[in-house]
Structure 1
Amino acid sequence: MHADVRRGTALCALLALTQAFYIPGFTFKSYRDGETIPLFVNKVYSDKSELQYAYTELPFVCPPTHRIKTGRFTSGASISLNLGEVLRGDRITVSDYELIMGNDEEARYLCAQTVDQDGLKRTRELIRDGYVAEWIVDNLPGATSFQTTDKSRKYYAAGFKIGEEVVSKQGGLPQYLIYNHVTLVIRYHRAPGKDGDRGKKVIVGFEVFPKSIAANNRTEDGLPKDLQNVRDPMMLIPTSNSTGEIDESEAATLTIPFTYSVYFREDEQLQWQNRWDRYFVAQEDSSNVHWLAIVNSLVIAGLLTAVVAVILARTVRGDIKGYQEDGGKPKLKRARGPMSPTNGMEKGGLLDQLGDLEGEADVSDDEEPEDITGWKLVHGDVFRAPPHGGLLAPLIGSGTQLLFMAIGILLLSAFGILNPSFRGGYVSVGTGLWVFAGLFSGYFSSRVYKTFGGQLWQKNVFVTASLVPGLLFSTIFVLNLFVWIQASSTAIPFGTLVGLVALWLFIQLPLVYVGGWYGYTQVGSWTHPIKANAIPRQIPAQPWFTKDVQAILLAGFVPFAVVFIELMFVFKSLWVDKSGYYYVFGFMAVVSVILLVTVIEVTVMATYIQLCSENYHWWWQSFLIGGSSALWIYAYLAWYFFARLHITGFVSSLLFFAYGGLACAVYGLLTGTVGFLSAYAFVRRIYR
């Protein structure tokens, strides 16, 4: 009864986290009338490509004049970025757009940019691929405004298109127009507290409405004569200024005038702490699907829990009870395979129920008790050190490091400390947690390594500290070569790569060393209730479902079934919306807890079945089964690529599958470690 109450309380607490979608920052910026508000330009991105580009490096963008100054910002200056922003491809620069709080501007001239043939070709390619621009005001991304289907609510889609592809109904080649005028709508609200009493305001919305206006029919200042009735768009076709005819010469250029309008509008309904809500309206409409994901996960986990309870509780306890009733002296029969005398058995565990084979039952070296079957037959080999234990130990250590990082990010996100307003925060904080968790990595790796009988603990520490980071760094470096060629902002700068190496060398490596030293020399190995036989037992032929490939595929499907609905939202946020504003970490936290419980139960059940088949090679098998759902997730990722995405090009496809593979490998390492540790605890429990 008490256990049920505790489980119910824990479940309610987890479900309560689903309401912790977003908690804003603790400070806000307020502006008084007449104060200049900086507008930052960042990058352009598309759902058809994995390549992003810095906005200021595009051929049609007006070069900065350094004439706008507001506080510490000067137009053309690059903003210092955190690690997460750099890795996600951000390149934030102060623009020449002048926004003054409370001052509406019907039309202002920015510049006239002359673009050559190569630049026009490049611009047409960006428009064809559907690239959208990301601008930022007061940490809010410029948004395209929409209405819900019932017209009851407004919602935002981050970014705005840089142009449009026009396809003629009569056929022929498509034409491209560029949006060279933007109407900026800044929505504000009275500032909270004393700032509001002084007349200050806070920004709660930033909307961008782009428009294409031809270069003709303008005033001497370069402004359109009539913004409301625009007849001709700005087509990306070089023309002769005198005749208006198309100029097809290689030296032809096109001069594009850029203008903008600014309007400030008060929004009395939207508070500052809720200003991100409009970016999430579309996601909130799918909350029922998130609940469906949780119910689906609970049903699967509940059924699995019932199976594990029946198989393990009844079967194992039944075996114990049978031996207790028989006085611990079962009858004898001939052994099925070669077996050496058992040594090192301790009293008080399950094996104590078997009796002393040499003393009490008078069993010879080639005989076994008649009633000993299944998992009890391999008691003399179950704790035999696995092959390649020097590789398994570093993997387990790295898995515990990932587990600590993942739990930290989920908790910080579910309680709103990490949120979309903290740009790049997930990657930056995750990297910090990963580095700090090097202590746990070295500790667990060294203890497992010593348990396997390893002697060179310093070598194990170095392998633990460099195996996963080295593989990740090498893969990312090779992929970066392809991205550098494309001149994309997705490429990690060389200085950042050097900084990451220094972070590993001077911080993580010493932390792993300290944890490894403490785990190996001060704490030592885990003790086992029995010693391994001198001669390994022969393993009989295995059923088809316990063989390596079949067992891994079958066991991995169950955890995948728990998370695949929530994965749909993660994939959509990363590769369809391209905003990265996945925010329902309350739901994610609940699903993650259910996932870990499912991984533990699947691994324990698979290990029990394997031992019942007299196969004592469970060390690696438990790790692989725990992480096997990564294979199903990668297959799901491949299906999503071909069925739902519009990504084209070799480099973009390579980046998608390579980074997707790295993410699945990291996930598999984490869940594989959870599976290994749970199977290890289970085996120690039944053989004690």
Structure 2
Amino acid sequence: MRRDESCKVVCRTKLSPEAAKNFKEKIDDEYRVNMILDNLPVVVPRQTQEGSQTPSFEHGYRVGYKLKDDKYNINNHLSFKVLYHEDLNAAEARIVGFHVIPSSIKHEYGAWDDKNPTVQTCNANTKITPGSHTPQEVAPEAYVVFSYDVIFEASEIIWASRWDVYLLSSDSQIHWFSIINSLMIVLFLSGMIAMIMMRTLYKDIANYNQLDNQEEAQEETGWKLVHGDAFRPPVHSGLLCVYVGTGVQFFGMTVVTMMFALLGFLSPANRGGLMTAMVLSWVFMGMFKGTEWKKITLKTAFMFPGIIFGVFFVLNALIWGEKSSGAVPFGTMFALFLLWFGISVPLVFVGSFLGFKQPAIEDPVKTNKIPRQIPEQAWYLQPAFSILAGGILPFGAVFIELFFILTSIWLNQFYYIFGFLFIVFVILLVTCAEITIVLCYFQLCSEDCHWWWRAYLTAGSSALYLFAYAIFYFFNKLEITKLVSGILYFGYMLIISYAFFVLTGTIGFYACFWFVRKIYASVKID
């Protein structure tokens, strides 16, 4: 600590043909080296734009670079700058910054001594900068000497705010644009809802309640006509219960995790904190759901987590096969298994039992014994079209923020704009609820009473657009060439899209369920 080093030689290595080939591949794929000092990741200072007071950094440094003549140079010399803040009340200092400037230099030396390595290229009085020496080329049988400098510099940054420069480097103007874009969608949908509620629906209810004689009652059309079938249980009702229950659990996990993030408990300074909070929130949210018993409870406890765990296990096996340090160790996998079977599953049964003991929800109207025939629907009211159309607006409300999230996951950036994320999340909830209510109203007006699954799939179809955007992002923003890396990307994006489907579908279902109960409770049914 606070001991400067200049031209410190680490080691010398001879590149085998295979090692040289691997280095060239890593340089082509723009691999970066990540280091951590006192829990701070190393960053490379960028050139500050004119008029900007905020410093900008890249996380990690590149392995090397490629020249126009197809020559590859390796960054084998690192110039570190460690910022520290001195405590005036005590004889100690804390690290508040970790910067590096990488260089490629072909070191010159005489007889090599492994015990006391020295080079003639630099000494204690010289400072190496990028481009100041002949670069070290990547070639088979070439000797590469790795070295570094380090200087310690006093800083006014206090230890409590040392992460600010990492977390506040993103452009907030684009996030505000994302929110304004989303708000415009919400205002448009809210206007449609208001028009339906205040004019059309209010007029419908007034007309239906004024129908006195039998002849008028026989001439009624629209959504009141299907009151005897609106609450008929849908096909595969058990599966719908499972997905709705799982969605409530996922919604609870999302809200709790986001609240902790907003309060500052899940800063990237606490490495792995966000993922740990999500897993624990999911496990303990098992106690809040469940309205049916036994078989449905078993499906709820095992279906969604089982699918996610199965996909994740296959992807992790691929990482194991590549001998990557990014693989989740066996002990952690076993701990996740214990959390699932030891906490989540019992709590699902407890929640389901408590729900089973509650009185059943009473429908506002009676269900006819014989289902009525559904008339032929217009092309724009066909299930496939209306479901796909319904997912566009929820996805449109979040896709700009989605870009930043994908960038943080796949392009090694930090994401800490949880305030913006929470606003966008609320907008997503409102958008899913409103678009489902609008399309559900049109469906009932066309005398189609099969709204249960349609409501879930209408909002849930936004996950299809999310996955389509992930495919677009893969081919336009990423340069992944290896098969395993591509499988990992699409595997993880499939998990994210599936979870998004369950979350948005549940929001749409509950919004439509509330709406249908409200409108049928508002009319007089003989």
| TM exceeding 0.5 | yes
Query: Contact 1:330 / 1:371 at 8 angstroms: preserved in 2?
Result: no
Residue 35 of structure 2 aligns to a residue whose secondary structure is strand
Which TM-score applies when normalising by structure 2?
A: 0.92
**Counterpart-to-counterpart distance in 2, 1:413 and 1:665:** 23
Query: Contact 2:186 / 2:427 at 8 angstroms: preserved in 1?
Result: yes
1:384 Cα offset (Å): 0.6
**Counterpart-to-counterpart distance in 1, 2:73 and 2:47:** 25
**Counterpart-to-counterpart distance in 1, 2:281 and 2:255:** 10
How many residues align? The count is 510
**Counterpart-to-counterpart distance in 1, 2:22 and 2:398:** 41
1:261 pairs with 2:149: yes
1:557 pairs with 2:392: yes
1:257 Cα offset (Å): 2.9
1:152 Cα offset (Å): 4.1
Structure 1's 303 and 238: CA in aligned 2 closer, same or farther, altered over 3 A? closer
1:371 Cα offset (Å): 4.3
Query: Contact 1:184 / 1:261 at 8 angstroms: preserved in 2?
Result: yes
**Counterpart-to-counterpart distance in 1, 2:41 and 2:460:** 37
**Residue of structure 2 equivalent to 1:96:** none
Match of 1:143 among 20, 43, 47: 43
Residue 45 of structure 2 aligns to a residue whose secondary structure is strand
1:571 Cα offset (Å): 2.2
**Residue of structure 2 equivalent to 1:475:** 311
Residue 108 of structure 1 aligns to a residue whose secondary structure is strand
**Counterpart-to-counterpart distance in 1, 2:474 and 2:121:** 45
Match of 1:237 among 117, 126, 139: 139
Residue 483 of structure 1 aligns to a residue whose secondary structure is helix
Structure 1's 289 and 153: CA in aligned 2 closer, same or farther, altered over 3 A? closer
Structure 1's 231 and 298: CA in aligned 2 closer, same or farther, altered over 3 A? closer
Residue 416 of structure 1 aligns to a residue whose secondary structure is coil
**Residue of structure 1 equivalent to 2:62:** 161
**Residue of structure 1 equivalent to 2:465:** 632
Match of 1:178 among 70, 74, 98: 74
Alignment of 1:547-586 (within 5 A): 547-576=382-411, 578-579=412-413, 581-586=414-419
Match of 1:205 among 93, 97, 100: 97
Residue 541 of structure 1 aligns to a residue whose secondary structure is coil
1:409 Cα offset (Å): 1.9
Alignment of 1:290-301 (within 5 A): 290-301=175-186
Query: Contact 2:44 / 2:60 at 8 angstroms: preserved in 1?
Result: yes
**Counterpart-to-counterpart distance in 1, 2:53 and 2:232:** 66
Residue 98 of structure 2 aligns to a residue whose secondary structure is strand
**Residue of structure 2 equivalent to 1:532:** 367
Residue 294 of structure 2 aligns to a residue whose secondary structure is helix
Alignment of 1:156-555 (within 5 A): 156-168=57-69, 174-191=70-87, 196-217=88-109, 221-227=116-122, 228=127, 231-239=133-141, 254-268=142-156, 270-280=157-167, 282-283=169-170, 286-324=171-209, 326=210, 328-332=211-215, 369-441=217-289, 443=290, 447=291, 449=292, 457-520=293-356, 522-555=357-390
1:127 pairs with 2:12: no
**Counterpart-to-counterpart distance in 1, 2:371 and 2:395:** 36
Query: Contact 2:29 / 2:480 at 8 angstroms: preserved in 1?
Result: no
**Counterpart-to-counterpart distance in 1, 2:26 and 2:407:** 22
Query: Contact 2:108 / 2:120 at 8 angstroms: preserved in 1?
Result: no
Residue 34 of structure 2 aligns to a residue whose secondary structure is strand
CA deviation profile, 1:439-481 (whole Å, cap 9, x unmatched): 123x3xxx2x4xxxxxxx2121111010001111111222333
Query: Contact 1:222 / 1:257 at 8 angstroms: preserved in 2?
Result: no
Q: Which stretch of the first structure deviates more once superposed, 649-658 or 556-565?
A: 649-658
1:133 Cα offset (Å): 1.0
In structure 1, list runs of 5 or more residues that go unmatched: 1-100, 169-173, 240-253, 334-368, 450-456
1:547 Cα offset (Å): 1.1
**Residue of structure 2 equivalent to 1:56:** none
CA deviation profile, 1:345-387 (whole Å, cap 9, x unmatched): xxxxxxxxxxxxxxxxxxxxxxxx2342111111111111111
Kindly provide the amino acid, as one letter, of the partner of residue 154 in structure 2: E
**Counterpart-to-counterpart distance in 1, 2:75 and 2:420:** 39
Q: Which stretch of the first structure deviates more once superposed, 561-570 or 222-231?
A: 222-231
Kindly provide the amino acid, as one letter, of the partner of residue 394 in structure 1: V
**Counterpart-to-counterpart distance in 2, 1:644 and 1:540:** 47
Q: Which stretch of the first structure deviates more once superposed, 566-575 or 397-406?
A: 566-575
Query: Contact 2:48 / 2:55 at 8 angstroms: preserved in 1?
Result: yes
**Counterpart-to-counterpart distance in 1, 2:388 and 2:200:** 25
**Counterpart-to-counterpart distance in 1, 2:118 and 2:419:** 49
Query: Contact 2:15 / 2:140 at 8 angstroms: preserved in 1?
Result: no
Q: Which stretch of the first structure deviates more once superposed, 217-226 or 611-620?
A: 217-226
**Counterpart-to-counterpart distance in 1, 2:258 and 2:326:** 25
Structure 1's 530 and 121: CA in aligned 2 closer, same or farther, altered over 3 A? same
**Residue of structure 1 equivalent to 2:524:** none
Q: Which has the higher Rg, Structure 1 or Structure 2? A: 1
**Counterpart-to-counterpart distance in 2, 1:502 and 1:540:** 52
**Counterpart-to-counterpart distance in 2, 1:516 and 1:153:** 52
Query: Contact 1:146 / 1:156 at 8 angstroms: preserved in 2?
Result: yes
Identity %: 39
**Residue of structure 2 equivalent to 1:656:** 489
**Counterpart-to-counterpart distance in 1, 2:267 and 2:159:** 15
Q: Which stretch of the first structure deviates more once superposed, 379-388 or 153-162?
A: 153-162
Query: Contact 2:249 / 2:288 at 8 angstroms: preserved in 1?
Result: yes
Structure 1 or 2: larger helix share? 2
Query: Contact 1:386 / 1:619 at 8 angstroms: preserved in 2?
Result: yes
Query: Contact 2:15 / 2:139 at 8 angstroms: preserved in 1?
Result: no
Query: Contact 2:17 / 2:139 at 8 angstroms: preserved in 1?
Result: no
**Counterpart-to-counterpart distance in 2, 1:637 and 1:683:** 35
Residue 437 of structure 1 aligns to a residue whose secondary structure is helix
Kindly provide the amino acid, as one letter, of the partner of residue 139 in structure 2: I
Which TM-score applies when normalising by structure 1?
A: 0.71
Query: Contact 1:141 / 1:206 at 8 angstroms: preserved in 2?
Result: yes
Structure 1's 143 and 626: CA in aligned 2 closer, same or farther, altered over 3 A? same
Query: Contact 1:627 / 1:672 at 8 angstroms: preserved in 2?
Result: yes
Kindly provide the amino acid, as one letter, of the partner of residue 92 in structure 2: K
1:276 Cα offset (Å): 2.1
1:674 pairs with 2:507: yes
Structure 1's 330 and 113: CA in aligned 2 closer, same or farther, altered over 3 A? farther
Structure 1's 160 and 321: CA in aligned 2 closer, same or farther, altered over 3 A? same
Alignment of 1:7-46 (within 5 A): none
Query: Contact 2:76 / 2:144 at 8 angstroms: preserved in 1?
Result: yes
Residue 684 of structure 1 aligns to a residue whose secondary structure is helix
CA deviation profile, 1:609-651 (whole Å, cap 9, x unmatched): 1111111111100000121211122222222222222222222
